[in-house]
Structure 1
């Protein structure tokens, strides 16, 4: 490697992309293209960076497998920063295999972190855990260790293991400070702050108050009957009745939970479940049918009794009833949760992360844009969406991923 390439690489490692560009900006050989791409990424021009890194990967010869794998790794990192979740995970996993086979354990660990972060973004928590578990015991540079612990903390937060998440973030913070990377330290500080921010709302006995993530964990571990409006389920301890695919039943369960220990009046139930402003006999008949279905679904946990005014929830083990609601009630809360990280997302990436169709996401984005809650940049396939971070709450419970069964 010549002296200019070496000097440019050292400048990039020191966080000085302009110095690196001054040394290699006029060169088009493969190492110079790769360094130019990394420099442009550090300067924030991700589209140009991606083109340069891809050209570098194509310029390296077939015998330079490690260099080509490193270019794939750089392109994958840029794609992740762009929230382009459609990039080839198979190509990154192949690059990971090449790097491990040639003993480049640092870049291999970095590739493993990227795979884990992508799995975390799309809600595949088990796959993210398996990816991190595949790392060897060898010591790694602080920057790589910090990212690994940051991913581990994200998994723990999504699984409502707040103590494990806090411990992982403390380790990540120490490693980031040792590495001297300000942006990584800021990301870890933001994740740590989210542990102390409201993650949900508790509605019980006419009271509505915010809950931190550790308080949500404690509530779900308690013997109370919880109507979970974050995951659309009713649960008590290890027993859970999912109602995500039965929205009418869940709407009725939530109305009963909010009214407990009293009863929910029929007119209110009809409005919540069917949107009926003026109830007629057909509405009342349908309500009786749906209440029968809800009674059958909740049989392991509670009964549903008719009263003179409506219906009431009767837990089998009377330890109280609580409704766990989202910190904000918005039709498009899932989209807002993803956009609140301040990054630029494509509609296809949002659809992949939310597990829904791209057209559904586009309709949600159009509605949010009309309300001034999101902004778009670019046109066509290059169009990206973002919004300022929503202040004062964590998005953990708005993102996809199942709650623990016990």
Structure 2
């Protein structure tokens, strides 16, 4: 490797893409193409970056397996940044295996962290934790250490382990400071702000208030019965009843939880669960059937008793609360994912939400009509984005799969 390539590589590692381009902008050999692609990615021209990396991978040839694998890893990172979740994850896994076999442990670790970040983005927390738990050689460069701690913090936030998340973010901040890369420090700072902004809305005895993530964690560990409208479950500290795939039962549970300790009229329950404007005898009969199913689903957590006018929740716990998203919006799941400020395709949103692409497209059309999201591009290149919702961290409480209302 010649001196210009080495100098450009050091400049990219230090977060100086313009310095790298000054050295290799006019060169078309394989190493220069690869470094130019990485530089263009750091400057935000992802389309040009992807084309350069693919050209570099072809130019390296079959005998230069490590160099080709590094190009694949760089392309995978571009796909992650551009939210191209349909990019073949098997190619990244194969590139990581190649790098490990040839002793390039640093780039192999970077590839593994990209795999974990993708798994985290689509809600596969168990698989993300298993991948992250694979042994890592030490020491790593500060930038890679910061990247790993950001992934650890992301998993901890999704698991509602705020203490572990704060510790990981503190380690990431120190590593980013040592790396001296402003963009990395900004990413750590943005992740840290998540812990200090409202993550959910608590509805209790007719009153509402916003909760931080650590308050949500404390609530889940308490003895109250929680009807969790963020994850579509009913739970206490010991038992979790998932209702994400039984939307009628969850709608009934939420209506009863919001009204507790009072009852809910039958006509109101029919409207909430079946979206019927008026209740006839067939609706009331169906309501009785669904209430019976809800009793069976809740088991020992709570019962549902009939009253003169409707039904009331009879919990085993002393208190009942409803945990809802901070923003009450019909298409809140789509908005929650878009709140990261990145541009998403409808297919990527469908993968992240565990919904059909057509369902997601209907939500996007409705949000666009209301001026809440904005498309750009045409055909398969169309992307959707919206500025982050100020003061809210709705993405944190999104599981996968999640039914879209």
For normalisation by structure 1, the TM-score amounts to: 0.95
Per-residue deviation, residues 297-334 of structure 1 (Å, max 9, x unmatched): 22321111111121111112x42111111111222212
Q: Is the partner of 1:305 in helix, strand or coil?
A: strand
Q: Residue 80 of structure 1 corresponds to which residue in structure 2?
A: 80
Tell me which residue corresponds to 1:37: 37
Do the aligned partners of residues 13 and 234 (structure 1) sit closer, same or farther apart at CA in structure 2, a change above 3 Å counting? closer
Q: By how many angstroms is 1:84 displaced?
A: 0.7
SS at structure 1 position matched to 2:240: strand
TM-fit CA distance, 1:361? 1.4
SS in 2 for 1:304: strand
* Other-structure match for 2:360: 361
RMSD: 1.7
Alignment-derived partner of residue 2 in structure 1? 2
1:203 aligns with: 203
1:400 and 2:402 aligned: no
In 2, the alpha carbon distance for the partners of 1:167 and 1:402 equals 29
Task: Work out the CA distance in 2 between the residues paired with 1:149 and 1:174.
Answer: 10
Secondary structure of 2:131's aligned partner? helix
Residues 149 and 168 of structure 2 are in contact (CA less than 8 Å); yes or no, is this contact kept in structure 1? yes
Match of 2:297 in 1: 297
Take 1:153 and 1:19, find their aligned partners in 2: how far apart are those partners?
A: 32
Q: Distance in 2 between matches of 1:12 and 1:114?
A: 18
Aligned to 2:381: 382
Query: Are the counterparts in 2 of residues 333 and 398 from structure 1 also a CA contact under 8 Å?
Result: no
Q: Which residue of 2 aligns with 1:159?
A: 159
Q: Per the alignment, in what secondary structure is the counterpart of residue 300 of structure 2? A: coil
1:342-383: per-residue Cα shift (whole Å, max 9, x none)? 111111111111111122212211111111111122111111
- 3-state DSSP class of the match of 1:21? helix
Q: What residue in structure 1 maps to residue 343 of structure 2?
A: 344
SS of alignment partner, residue 27 of structure 2: coil
- Runs of 4+ in structure 1 over 4 Å off: none
Q: Deviations over 1:197-250 (max 9, x none)?
A: 111111111111111111111111111111111111211222122222221111
Query: Given the superposition, is the C-alpha separation of residues 385 and 7 from structure 1 closer, same or farther in structure 2, using an over 3 Å criterion?
Result: same
Pair 60,251 (structure 1): closer, same or farther in 2 beyond 3 Å = same
Structure 1 residue 391: Cα displacement: 0.9
Contact 2:199–2:392 under 8 Å retained in 1 = yes
Q: Is the 8 A contact 1:66 1:102 kept in 2?
A: yes
Matches within 5 A, 1:55-134: 55-134=55-134
In structure 2, what is the equivalent of residue 327 of structure 1? 326
Contact preservation (8 Å) 1:200, 1:397: no
Aligned residues of 1:113 and 1:151 also touching (Cα < 8 A): yes
- 1:101 CA displacement: 1.6
What's the offset of the Cα at 1:110? 0.8
Gap change, CA 1:26 and 1:101, over 3 Å in 2: same
Unmatched tracts of structure 2, length 5 or more: none
How many angstroms apart in 1 are the aligned matches of 2:165 and 2:14? 30
Shift in Å, 1:8? 2.5
Q: Distance in 2 between matches of 1:280 and 1:88?
A: 51
> Could you say which residue in structure 2 is the equivalent of 1:248?
248
Instruction: Give the equivalent residue in structure 1 for 2:179.
Output: 179
**Could you tell me how far apart the structure 1 residues matched to 2:366 and 2:383 are?**
15
- d(CA) in 1 for partners of 2:287 and 2:86? 44
Shift of 1:402: 8.4
CA displacement at 1:397 relative to structure 2: 4.3
Distance 1:251 1:84 in 2: 33
Contact 2:354-2:400 at 8 Å conserved across structures: no
**Does the 8 Å contact 1:158/1:396 carry over to 2?**
no
Q: What stretches of structure 1 of length at least 5 have no aligned partner?
A: none
Alpha-carbon offset, residue 137 of structure 1: 4.0
SS of the residue 1:227 aligns to: strand
Q: Give CA deviations for 1:250-280 in whole Å, capped at 9, x if unaligned.
A: 1111111111111112222122112233322
**SS of residue in 2 equivalent to 1:202:** strand
**Equivalence for 1:373:** 372
